[in-house]
Amino acid sequence: MAIDWTTDTAVVGVVGAGAMGRGIAQVAAQGGLSVLLHDAAPGAAERGRGMIAELIEGSVRKGRLSEADGKAAQSRLRVVDGLEDLAPADAVIEAVVEDLEVKRELFRRLEGIVRPDAILASNTSSIRIASIAAACKGRGRVAGMHFFNPVPIMKLVEVIRAPATAPAVVNALTVLGKRMGRVPVSVSDSPGFLVNLGNRSFSTEALRIATEGVATPAQIDAILKDAAGFRMGPFELMDLTGIDVNFPAARIMYEGYFHDRRLATWPLHESMAESGQLGRKTGGGWYSYDAEGKLVPQPTDTISKAPAARRVFVPEPDLPLVALLQNAGAEIAPSDDGTMPLIAAPVGEDASTFAHRLGLDSKRLVCLDLTGNPAKRVTIMCPPGADRAISDAIVTLLSHAGAKITRIKDSPGFVTQRVIAMIGNLGCEMAQIGIASPADIDLAMKLGLNYPAGSLEFIDWLGGAERSHQILSQVQAITGDDRYRPSLWLRRRALLRLPIHTPD
């Protein structure tokens, strides 16, 4: 495409004046582009322009935009009544209803209106670009340009290449995205594209843990926020987006990847959707909300009034574990006297497996997860039949170190190890099948989802490819579930002890 997006004469058409269309039109105008805004509903585009003007003027009042730049941006935005008025556009971005036939008909009409070298892009979040392009004769100029809501705030844009999309179109949209002040990442046409697919493990593994009765949604959220640094827990996030939105999205991606177990959601998720408990929008989902929409807190911490344990034995000495126990005031015994607490920090195993493997007295075993930031929260678990008095004594001991304590039921990989390893594994799989480059995968997760690290970066956060592979292999062996099979990208780098970002 010979479009020069650096000039003041470049024109972008936007079809759809809803929240996404308005946001796209706003950042295009603020990026110095002439914008033609159209909506099929009478008066909708004009109302959209008024709302954009209010947002721009608000940015001027807050000092985020100069008065001159604000007026210039508004002057570049023009409402047009018919699709035929989009003829001068160098590119048209549609942001209409998520209906394949509606989009196909729109693209058929646009193809006959704009010039042959103009780009046709869809802001769809769920429909294959190839399916939309099938309606066009010139499929090479059709691509995806998936923005995130709210567009003026969310910097990421996915530039999606269908099998027939010309490389020049991808390059042109990448330049256009930068002109609009966004950060473009190149993504192959696939179910969920990059960000929506990459976010699957965060919610579905949390749902699996809750389904197993290992921990409550509130406990899982607290663990992942404190130990792993997420701004919101998976259940809080599902309530925010709406379970009527995230449950169908999970099913679409599971179906789209032909029932890959790594993408499966759970009946508990469907039950919430069917019951109408959809999250904040209905006043209740995984959490309850007050009349002002504020979350009603649920208990997450474990409190014990038992005397603190003073002397413990560590069957498999681990420096961070020993340091934590000593900092809390415990003496590490050189051998087991048959009565003292047995403390361990297993990787990928549950407490039962750990006790069986080492031939330990399971009644005295207390396992701790120190993954992430144990200064904020430590997760503990014990095998079935464990002596509650012993675990209570360890809870009291650990509270002396200042950390919050969450007691969960026995689980391979605790909570943090399981969820983070699954996020990292899915990132590796996306790199393996070429959805995007490892660097773009990491960037997209941080910009599109506010993750504290990128998907592949989480592999390093867990301790590297070998440790992450160990966690997944252990969980797969214990559960017998193919869901936890390591990606070949991860497996090869673990076996060869290579950094996770090592290219093929």
Token pair for 201:
């493990």
Q: Which residues contact 318 (CB under 8 A, 6 or more apart)?
A: 345, 370
DSSP H or E stretch at residue 428: helix 416-432
Please state, in angstroms and rounded to a whole number, the distance separating the CA atoms of residues 474 and 466: 12
Token pair for 291:
């009349």
* Options 158, 205, 429, 457, the catalytic residue: 158
Please state, in angstroms and rounded to a whole number, the distance separating the CA atoms of residues 231 and 211: 23
Please state, in angstroms and rounded to a whole number, the distance separating the CA atoms of residues 71 and 293: 36
- The candidate with the shortest Cα–Cα distance to 14, out of 71, 79, 94, is 94
146 is catalytic: yes
What are the E-state strand segments in 353-403? 365-369, 377-381
* Amino acid at residue number 80: V
CB-based burial of residue 493 (10 Å sphere; 0-12 exposed, 13-18 middle, 19+ buried)?
A: buried
Residue ranges of the alpha helices (H) in 8-99?
A: 19-30, 44-61, 67-75
400 is catalytic: no
Beta-ladder partners of 177: none
* Amino acid at residue number 229: G
158 is catalytic: yes
Is residue 40 within 8 Å of 80, Cβ to Cβ? no
* Amino acid at residue number 158: E
Is residue 188 within 8 Å of 158, Cβ to Cβ? no
Please state, in angstroms and rounded to a whole number, the distance separating the CA atoms of residues 12 and 32: 11
* Options 59, 122, 190, 196, the catalytic residue: 196
For 255, other C-beta atoms within 10 Å of its C-beta total 11
* Amino acid at residue number 307: P
Pairing of strands 365-369, 377-381: antiparallel
Please state, in angstroms and rounded to a whole number, the distance separating the CA atoms of residues 264 and 250: 7
* Amino acid at residue number 263: L
* Options 38, 146, 469, 501, the catalytic residue: 146
State the distance between the two ends of the chain, measured CA to CA, in whole angstroms.
30
* Options 125, 304, 425, 487, the catalytic residue: 125
Please state, in angstroms and rounded to a whole number, the distance separating the CA atoms of residues 36 and 110: 14
Cis preceding-peptide flag for 191 (omega within 30 of 0): no
Please state, in angstroms and rounded to a whole number, the distance separating the CA atoms of residues 162 and 134: 10
- The candidate with the shortest Cα–Cα distance to 477, out of 386, 348, 329, is 348
- The candidate with the shortest Cα–Cα distance to 186, out of 136, 103, 240, 129, is 129
Active site residues: 125, 146, 158, 196
